[in-house]
Amino acid sequence: QRAVRTRRYKYIRRFDGRDRPVLPNIDDSPSKSLLLEHGLANRPVPEEALYDLVFDPQEARNVASDLRLFPVLRDMRARLEQWMQATDDPLLRGPVPLPPGAVANDPDGVSPNEPTSIVGE
């Protein structure tokens, strides 16, 4: 994922095509266990998120679908695209593969302590 922000807004875009959290990216803890008991694994994760940092500093309400804020969303999309172009972000060319020999957890797993199942070629 990538993000840009202004003083007022934060825009986050996911590039992995997943619509659920990647649970191995969350350390095992009592808090994670509680969240899993309350449906974290099935909570939808949007491709785009826009937060109003003035009225929602905790980033609890994604306003990307609020039509009144479409001009802001369009501007933030453009800012992200410009930043990615300026930095030659590898995501512009598609998914970034693991480097040869690198290991990673299965994104469909639950715990970062599960055996590694993905190895870069």
For the stretch 10-55, pLDDT in tens is 999 999 999 999 999 999 999 999 999 999 999 999 999 999 999 9
Q: Which pLDDT score is estimated for 111?
A: 94
- Which of the following CATH numbers is that of domain 2-96: 3.30.1120, 3.30.1450, 3.10.350, 1.10.3470? 3.30.1120
Q: What is the pLDDT of residue 72?
A: 99
What angle (nearest 5°) sits at the alpha carbon of residue 76, between those of residues 70 and 82? 140
Question: What is the mean predicted confidence (pLDDT) over 80-108?
Answer: 94
Q: What is the mean pLDDT of the chain?
A: 95
| Residue 3 neighbours by CB under 8 Å, 6+ apart | 10, 11, 12, 13, 80
Q: Confidence class of residue 8 from pLDDT cuts 50, 70 and 90?
A: very high
Q: 52 forms bridges with which residues in the sheet? A: 9
